[in-house]
Structure 1
Amino acid sequence: MAADNRSEAAQGLSLISPPLLYSVLVLAAPLATILAYSFLKDGYLTVIREFTLENYLSVWSDPIFHKVMARSLVVAALVTLVTVALAFPVAYFLSFVVAPERKSLWLFLITIPFWTSYLIRVFLWKVILGYNGVINSGLKSLGIIEQPLTFILYNVNSMVITLAHAYAPFAILPIFIALEKIDRSFLEAGRDLGENRLMTFWRVTLPLAMPGVVAASLIVFIPTIGDYVTPALIGGGKIPMIANLIQAQMLDLDNRPLGSALAVSAMIIVAVVSVIFLFLNRRFLKVKQ
């Protein structure tokens, strides 16, 4: 029996070894390099290999870091809220309204944005929201406005719109999967007990779909907070986020230790926020039960 267990363990290890090695090479190694750089000193166009905590002291005492990090958290939270709020009705429609034989077609259509580069989609939104873009040109031709609208580009609003569109499929799919796993007999039982559709949704459907909502929220929130392209193009460089600050230190100022300390600090903050979000969600589910 013990030999069988060892053989099964060896087979399992052989199966996971290739992806594990790949993960170590492409993820763990770069993270370890950044972590190591964050404890080194910066010299002129070089890195002095001496241990120091000055980079972290500089980061955490810098009011610019506080402001940019707070802005990044707020923008990421807004994008997450808007994306999940728009994705949930779409996922609900796919799960409860669309005929089973047509769900695969709808899922195929949802994945179409993945066919184009993320950078191209950002540029398209810049064309749509620009001063002489589709929206302003259309409103001017209809005589609704005389001067181009200035509040739809190079601000937080345009960044939220662009990022919400970019990450919408990532939010729709996990919510759809969670809704598909719900036993429809639970909903029928709720209605048999006299609950209307709204209360059945609030007391049954939403709590059971929360794992998908949580997954969608984290999938959107974590990459959004580190987005570099959208703040640079749609924000016009006027609303930098933490990724832009890291890029400036790493490339423009060639201060890799300080840039690494910024990156590690941002990762720690995102991890803490994510854990708090998971904890609050667990408390919410306990209350609902």
Structure 2
Amino acid sequence: MKSLQMDSDARRGLSQISLPFAFSILLLAAPLAILLAMSFWTQDFLTLDRTFTVANFKEAWTNPIYRTLMLRSLKISIIVTMLTVGLAYPAAYYMSFVAPNNRKALLVFLITIPFWTSYLMRIFLWKVILGFNGVVNGSLMGLGIIDTPLDWISYNQFAVTITLSHAWLPFAVLPIFVVMEKVNRSYLEAAQDLGDTPFQRFRRITLPLSMPGVVAATLIVFIPTIGDYVTPKLVGGPGGLMIANMIEVQFKNANNAPLGAALALSALVLVSSVAGIYVWLNRRYLKSEGAA
């Protein structure tokens, strides 16, 4: 009887996961498999040569242009991630531990307001703000602080970093806030009764228990930003282009989809490696905190 019940539960579980599993295979695994196969081919204008070759990966990792774009993309993504998570953590802490309970829903609502507008519209607004004759330069010149417009705040890596940080900040705040809401306040009260200072309570209790939210926020921001091509194209200028822009060029203008596939997979491997190292270091940190 027990065996029949286990078989029934197994069939029910398989029926529940079969559709999501098929959906994942169709929309994730299959495109990646096609991309992987294509990366070992070559293309002559519109003709694909399916002869196996690793020339595309060799080109992707030895050509100085592609290597520069890859490293630039990694640098911008790391800076954007550090900036957004660094700003998101105090905001989430205030929302969870300082703000009254009857205002938390309002604060979450305010965090989601940027989602009401189009992503493209927000990028164009940053072009207006940071442009040569934009809001920042116009205000500084009107106040007499500068005589000529600042040319280093637009169409470069700085503009890309600022725009991406603004766009992804809400995605960093919300997961940290959700995890902080689950922190048992009785732990903090017990630590306070035992004589811990506010900083000690934060370092020993709040920070370690909120790290899953920090990890989630970091991955949510880091992984998509390294593949963003709209923001660099609109506000980056020649010095702010990223690897995704080169991938777009290879697939569209250059008619070299195999090289574009190799660049995309190379970026995927790079992102996965950095994310894996980060998660591993975070686990070591949590273990050391737990041992202490």
Moved more, 206-215 or 230-239: 230-239
Structure 2 match to 1:243: 244
Moved more, 21-30 or 91-100: 21-30
Structure 2 match to 1:135: 136
Instruction: Report the residue type matching 1:181 in the other structure.
Output: K
Structure 1 match to 2:6: 5
- Which digits, 9 at most, give the CA deviation of each residue in 1:73-104, with x for residues without a partner? 11100000000000001101110122223222
Measure, in 2, the Cα distance between the counterparts of 1:92 and 1:147.
41
Structure 1 match to 2:167: 166
What is the CA-CA distance between 1:51 and the residue it aligns to? 1.6
Structure 1 segments, 4+ long, off by >6 Å, are none
What is the CA-CA distance between 1:57 and the residue it aligns to? 1.8
Same amino acid, percent of matched pairs: 55
- Which digits, 9 at most, give the CA deviation of each residue in 1:253-289, with x for residues without a partner? 1100011011111101111111111111111112222
Q: Give the RMSD, CA atoms, in angstroms.
A: 1.4
Measure, in 1, the Cα distance between the counterparts of 2:81 and 2:260.
26
What is the CA-CA distance between 1:163 and the residue it aligns to? 0.6
What is the CA-CA distance between 1:24 and the residue it aligns to? 2.2
Measure, in 1, the Cα distance between the counterparts of 2:148 and 2:204.
49
Instruction: Report the residue type matching 2:64 in the other structure.
Output: P
Q: How many residues align?
A: 289
Could you state the TM-score of these two structures normalised by the residue count of structure 1? Answer: 0.96
The answer (yes or no) to whether the contact 2:157–2:239 under 8 Å persists in 1 is no
List runs of 5+ in structure 1 lacking aligned partners. Answer: none
The answer (yes or no) to whether the contact 2:85–2:172 under 8 Å persists in 1 is yes
Measure, in 1, the Cα distance between the counterparts of 2:171 and 2:21.
24
- Which digits, 9 at most, give the CA deviation of each residue in 1:162-196, with x for residues without a partner? 11110011100110011111111111122222221
Instruction: Report the residue type matching 1:250 in the other structure.
Output: F
The answer (yes or no) to whether the contact 2:156–2:238 under 8 Å persists in 1 is no
Answer yes or no: is 1:103 the counterpart of 2:104: yes
Measure, in 2, the Cα distance between the counterparts of 1:34 and 1:288.
42
Moved more, 249-258 or 58-67: 58-67
- Which digits, 9 at most, give the CA deviation of each residue in 1:31-72, with x for residues without a partner? 121111101121232211222211112222222222211111
Measure, in 2, the Cα distance between the counterparts of 1:148 and 1:272.
41
Measure, in 1, the Cα distance between the counterparts of 2:20 and 2:109.
27
Structure 2 match to 1:209: 210
Structure 1 match to 2:255: 254
